Structure 1
Amino acid sequence: MPSLCLMLVALASVPSAQEVLPMPPPPPGMRLLDTEDKKLLAGSAAQGEEGTASAPAPAGADAPEGTEPEEANEEVESESAELEELRALEGAALDPGARPNAQVLQSLRRLGIANPLRLRMMDVLEEPTLRDDDTPPELPLIRDLANFDVRQLQDRYDIPVEMQPLVAQYIQFFQGPGRKWFRKWVSRSTRYMPMMQPILEAKGLPRDTVYLAMIESGFSAHAYSWAHAAGPWQFIPSTGREYGLRQDFWVDERRDPVKATHAAANYLKALHKDLGHWYLAWAGYNTGGGRVRRMMDRHGTSNFWELCEEKGFAKETQHYVPKLIAAALISKNPGAFGFREEEFEYEEALAFDEVKLVDAMDLDVIARAAGVSVKDVHDLNPELKRWCTPPASEKSPYLLRLPKGSAEKFAENIKQLAPQERLTFRIHKVRRGDTLSQIAGAYGSAPEAILQFNRLKSARALRINAELAIPVPAGKGGGAALERKVAQARRSGVTALRPEEEIPAGTPRAPVATGPIKTEVIGGRTRVIYGVQEGDSLWAIAQRFNVTVEDLRSWNSLPRRKRGLKVGTVIQVWPGAAPAVVERSGTVVAAREQPAPALAPAPAPAKAGRAAVHTLAAGETLWSVAQRYGVSVEDIKRWNNIKDHRAVPAGKQLTVTAP
C-alpha cells in the first residue's frame, strides 16, 4: 500500500544508532518508493505554503550548537511543518475507513492540484469529495470576470453552471461585502459535505446539489428564517412533515443534517422529475413547484432565464439560481476568484457514535458519562429542543449521537449512575394564571431548571396551553441533582424572576403608550401633557406613568361611558415625579420635549370613593392586584400581614390602599 511507503519514508528520515531489521517484502501489487518518489516527497515538504514566513527566534532562545539561531529556527520549523503534513497524510492513508479531517484537506490543498504526490494520495484516500478538482489544472486568478469563459470550469461540476449577469454580480458580492460570511460557509462546508454528498448521490442527485444547502443556511443546523424555515436545508414546517421530518415538543428533525439531507434529496428529486431541469427544481425549492409549473405553462417555456424576464417570480427566486451557481464556482476554485487558503478555517468532518437510550435523559448527565462537553452533545444532536432527550423505551429507543470513540465509555458509566444522581421529567400544560414559581413549587422543581430545560429566556414567555418539561429528582435524595442543575443554569446565565415580579400566563398585555410628552412644573408638582397615538388606551397610558385609569378619568373629566380615545387628544397626567425642568423664583424656565421613557414611579394619591378592599379571585395574583390599584406587591403584603404571597387563597379580602 502507498500508505506503508509513506510510513517507511517517515521512519527512514529518523536516524538511529541501532541496526534496523531487514525490511519484509512488499505485498503483491505494491511497489516501494523509488528515488523519484523520495525526491518528490522531500520537495513537496520543502516547498511549504506560499505567502508564509518563518517566525523569528524568541529573545534569549538557545540555538543548537554550531548553528546560528535564525538558521536553526528555519530548519526546525521546516521540519516540523513537513512532519506535521506527513503525519496528517499518513494517518488518513493508514485508516482507509476514516473520513479525512480538516487538517488533511488543508495539507492536500497546500500540495497543489497538479502535484504528483497529491494525485497519489488521492489514489490512497479514494475520497470522491477530494478528487472532484484534482484532475484539471489550477486556474489562475480571474481578473476580467465579464469576459471569463465559464466553459473552462463546466467539466468540474455535475450541475449546470453558466455565467449570467446575476451570477457575476453574486461572485462580486461574495468577493466583497459578503466575503466574511462566504469564508464561514466554506470553512463549515468541510464538516457537512463529506456526509451530505454521498446521500445526494445515492438518491440519484448531482453531488454538487450540496451548494443549495450552502446558500440556504451556510451549512448551519440552527439557521431559522422569518418564514419559520429551519435547519441546513431550511424546510418550512409543512414541507418538513410531508417529507418525514418529525417536529414536536421534543425534537425538530429539520435541524438534523443527516435526516434533513435525506428529506431534501427526496424533495429535490420530485421537483426535478416534475419540472425537468435543475434550475427549475432549485427555483421550485425556493418558491414552490406549483408556482414554477404555472409560470412554465403560462409563458410556454422551460428556460429559467426567460421565465425570470417575465412577471411572476419574486426577486428572491430570480436571484436564487444565480446565487447557487456563484457559490459553487467560488467554492471549488477559491484561488481563481481571489480567495487565499489562509482565509478559511476548515472544520472537522462530521463523525460520531450512536447510542440507544430507553428513557429521557438529562444532557448534562449524558456528557459527564461520556466524558465530553455538553456543547459536543448539542452540536451532534441539533434536533433536540429541550435540555434532555425525548421519552423512549426498549421497543422504541432514541438514537443519540456522541463524539467518535465515546460510546463505550458512556455505556460503562451510565450503568453505574445512581438513581438519585439523575433527573426525570414531567409534562405540564400551562393554564391561565400559572406562574413559573407556582409550577416549580407544584412539582418540587426549580424555576431556573425549568427555564434551562425548555430553553426559555424568561418566565414572561409562558403561554397558555404551551407544554413545559419539568425536571424532577428521579428518586429519594435526588435533591442534589436538582441543585446541580440550578447551579449549572445560573452559570450559563439563566435567571428567574422573583415571584412578585412574575406575570401570570394569559395576563392581557396592551401596547405601552409611546406618544410624545411635554412636562411642566405647576405648584411644585410635575404635570405631563401626553398626545394620544393610534392604538393607545387609558390602560396603556396609566401603565406608562404608573397611575390608575380612574386617576386619568378624574384629571381629564372623562366620563365612564367614554371608552375610546381620539388620536391627537391631549391627556394631562400627574405622575408625582420630581420636576422635569429647572425652576427659578417659582417661574418655569422652559418646558421640554421628552422622547418617551416612563417617568420615575410614584404611588398614586388616595382618593375618596376608591375601593379599599379587593376580594382575590381564582387565578389572580398579588402582582395583578397591585397593577390594578397602582400600588406595589410589597405594599399589599405589608398592609395585609402576608408573609408568603403563594399562600394567599382565592376569596381572601385584601386591603389595597394605605391605612
Structure 2
Amino acid sequence: MLKKITGFMLFFLLIAHNLWGENIFQEIPLSEHIENVEVLPSEIVRHLPMDVNSQIAYFVKYYTTEKKEVLQRWFRRCGPFLPYFRVIFKEEGLPEDLVYLALVESGCNPFAVSRAGAVGIWQFIETTGRLYGLKVDYWIDERKDFIKSTYAAAKYLKKLYEIFGDWRLAVASYNAGEGRVSRALRAKNFADYWKVMMSGAIPFETFAYLPQWLAISIIIKDPQKYGFLPLIEEPWDYVELNVPGGLDLKVLSLAAEVDYDILRKLNAELRREFTPPGVTYPLKIPITSADKLLANLKRLELEEVKVNTPSGEVTLFVSAKDSVIIRNFEEKKGENSSKKKTTSSNRTKTSSSKDSKVAKKKKPSKGR
C-alpha cells in the first residue's frame, strides 16, 4: 500500500497541467531539486526506458528530508528480506530493481493491511492472491508468507509486462490494476506512459507510485551519499521443520529458544499464531534452533484446549504456564473450552521426535 505522502505539490502541478496542457514537471530541471542526481541506477536505465524528470527528484528530496526516518526504518526492516527477493526475481527473469517496489508497497511489512484489504509485503487483495496461487483460509494467509508472496508478485509483474510491453505501465498496473490502466490507455488513445499519467485518467496514488519507486531505487543504491546508514542485507538462515498441528507459536518459540518476533516474521502467514490443527506444518525456524526445537518440544508441559471454529471443534495446545490460554484467537464470549494437561511426548499423533523432520535449508546464495 502506498504510504501517505504530502501530495499537494504534485496534485497542484497535475491540475495545472490539465488547465494549461503542458507537462510542467518536464520544465523543472532535476538539478534544481537536489544535487548529484544526474542519472538513474544502471539497472533501471538498462531495463526501463524512461524520462528523468522532476517527479523523481521531488521524491528523492522527500525521502531524504521529510520522510528520512521512515525510509531508514524501512531499510532496517527490509534487510533480511531483500536477499530472498533478489534471488526470486532473478529466477523469474525480472529486472532486479523491481524488488524495491516492496518498500513502496508496505515498507517490507508482512503484516501490513491496507484500507482496501490488501495484505502483506506485496499487498495482494484476496482474489488476486488466490489467482497467483496464494492460499487464504481460517488458519493460513499466504499473502503474508515472504517467500510465496514474492513468487506471486514476480509472476504478476511478468504477466503485466506481457500485457503492456513497458515496465513503467506494468508497475503502474501493479498499483492501480491492469483493467484500469488498460481502460485509460484506450480512452485517451495513448500508448505513452507519461502522457496517460498526466491525462488525469489514472488515480493520483498511481501517478506518484512509479516516481516514488525510482526515487527509492536511487537512494538505496548509495544510501550513505544521501545521509542514510548502510543497508545491511543479512538473510535469515532457516530451515523448514515439520511440526505438529494446533501448536501455539509462543510454545514453539520457547521450545526453539528463539526470539518470538523473529519466529513470527518467518511464519507471518499463521493467522491465528497457531499451526493449523490436525496436520503437520512446515514451520520456518532458524537453523541454529532446529535441534533445540526437536529436543525441547516433547518435554514441554502443554495444555490441551478444545475450541469451536467455523469448520468445527479443534484441539489446540498451549503452554500450561501461559496465563493467557489463547492469545489473538477469536474465541466467542461464553464459549466453553475443555482443557486438560498433556505433554508433547505422550501425544502419539503429534510426536515431535517421529513426525518432525527437516524439510530443506533456505538461504540465498551469498553475493546475489
Aligned partners of 2:120 and 2:144 also within 8 Å = yes
Bigger radius of gyration among the two: 1
Q: 1:249 aligns with which of 135, 138, 141?
A: 138
Aligned partners of 2:83 and 2:234 also within 8 Å = no
Paired with 1:239 and 1:340, the residues of 2 have a C-alpha distance of 35
Paired with 1:388 and 1:251, the residues of 2 have a C-alpha distance of 9
- Gapped runs of 5+ residues in structure 2? 1-29, 312-321, 344-368
Aligned partners of 2:145 and 2:267 also within 8 Å = yes
Superposition deviation, residue 148 in structure 1? 5.7
- Tell whether 2:292 aligns with 1:403: no
Query: Could you say which residue in structure 1 is the equivalent of 2:296?
Result: 413
Query: Could you say which residue in structure 2 is the equivalent of 1:608?
Result: none
Q: 1:332 aligns with which of 205, 221, 231?
A: 221
CA deviation profile, 1:204-257 (whole Å, cap 9, x unmatched): 111111011110011111111111111110111111111111111112111111
Paired with 1:261 and 1:470, the residues of 2 have a C-alpha distance of 38
Superposition deviation, residue 305 in structure 1? 0.5
Paired with 1:345 and 1:236, the residues of 2 have a C-alpha distance of 29
- Tell whether 2:304 aligns with 1:423: yes
Aligned partners of 1:334 and 1:340 also within 8 Å = yes
Aligned partners of 1:361 and 1:423 also within 8 Å = no
Paired with 2:336 and 2:224, the residues of 1 have a C-alpha distance of 50
- Tell whether 2:246 aligns with 1:370: no
Counterpart of 2:103, as a letter, is M
Superposition deviation, residue 340 in structure 1? 4.0
Aligned partners of 1:428 and 1:470 also within 8 Å = no
CA deviation profile, 1:370-414 (whole Å, cap 9, x unmatched): 122333321211111113111243xxx311011221112212222
CA deviation profile, 1:270-310 (whole Å, cap 9, x unmatched): 11101111111111111110111122222333211110121
- Tell whether 2:202 aligns with 1:313: yes
Aligned partners of 2:40 and 2:218 also within 8 Å = no
Query: Could you say which residue in structure 1 is the equivalent of 2:267?
Result: 381
Query: Could you say which residue in structure 1 is the equivalent of 2:7?
Result: none
- Tell whether 2:210 aligns with 1:210: no
Query: Could you say which residue in structure 2 is the equivalent of 1:165?
Result: 54
Q: TM-score if structure 2 supplies the norm length?
A: 0.74
Distance 1:268 1:471, change over 3 A: farther
Paired with 2:109 and 2:62, the residues of 1 have a C-alpha distance of 20
Q: 1:350 aligns with which of 236, 247, 259?
A: 236
Query: Could you say which residue in structure 1 is the equivalent of 2:42?
Result: 154
Superposition deviation, residue 360 in structure 1? 1.8
- Tell whether 2:59 aligns with 1:183: no
Superposition deviation, residue 265 in structure 1? 0.6
Paired with 1:293 and 1:181, the residues of 2 have a C-alpha distance of 33
CA deviation profile, 1:587-621 (whole Å, cap 9, x unmatched): xxxxxxxxxxxxxxxxxxxxxxxxxxxxxxxxxxx
Superposition deviation, residue 149 in structure 1? 6.3
CA deviation profile, 1:354-379 (whole Å, cap 9, x unmatched): 10024221223212221223333212
Paired with 1:179 and 1:348, the residues of 2 have a C-alpha distance of 22
- Gapped runs of 5+ residues in structure 1? 1-141, 431-445, 477-659
Aligned partners of 2:157 and 2:171 also within 8 Å = yes
Paired with 1:275 and 1:154, the residues of 2 have a C-alpha distance of 22
Superposition deviation, residue 156 in structure 1? 6.8
Paired with 2:130 and 2:306, the residues of 1 have a C-alpha distance of 26
Aligned partners of 1:392 and 1:398 also within 8 Å = no
Distance 1:471 1:199, change over 3 A: farther
Superposition deviation, residue 322 in structure 1? 0.7
1:497-512 aligned at under 5 Å gives the runs none
Aligned partners of 2:43 and 2:96 also within 8 Å = no
Paired with 1:427 and 1:177, the residues of 2 have a C-alpha distance of 48
Superposition deviation, residue 153 in structure 1? 3.7
Query: Could you say which residue in structure 1 is the equivalent of 2:176?
Result: 287
Paired with 1:351 and 1:310, the residues of 2 have a C-alpha distance of 47
Paired with 1:323 and 1:281, the residues of 2 have a C-alpha distance of 15
SS across alignment from 1:427: strand
Superposition deviation, residue 348 in structure 1? 3.6
Aligned length: 303
Aligned partners of 1:357 and 1:392 also within 8 Å = no
Paired with 1:297 and 1:453, the residues of 2 have a C-alpha distance of 47
Distance 1:470 1:332, change over 3 A: farther
Aligned partners of 1:188 and 1:347 also within 8 Å = no
1:191-202 aligned at under 5 Å gives the runs 191-202=80-91
Q: TM-score if structure 1 supplies the norm length?
A: 0.43
Counterpart of 1:356, as a letter, is N
Q: 1:297 aligns with which of 186, 194, 199?
A: 186
Aligned partners of 1:353 and 1:406 also within 8 Å = no
Higher relative contact order (CA 8 A, sep 6+): 2
Query: Could you say which residue in structure 1 is the equivalent of 2:6?
Result: none
Paired with 2:99 and 2:242, the residues of 1 have a C-alpha distance of 30
SS across alignment from 2:130: helix
SS across alignment from 2:258: coil
Distance 1:152 1:330, change over 3 A: closer
CA deviation profile, 1:498-532 (whole Å, cap 9, x unmatched): xxxxxxxxxxxxxxxxxxxxxxxxxxxxxxxxxxx
CA deviation profile, 1:48-100 (whole Å, cap 9, x unmatched): xxxxxxxxxxxxxxxxxxxxxxxxxxxxxxxxxxxxxxxxxxxxxxxxxxxxx
Query: Could you say which residue in structure 1 is the equivalent of 2:13?
Result: none
Query: Could you say which residue in structure 2 is the equivalent of 1:16?
Result: none
SS across alignment from 1:377: helix
Superposition deviation, residue 469 in structure 1? 11
Counterpart of 2:251, as a letter, is V
Counterpart of 1:421, as a letter, is L
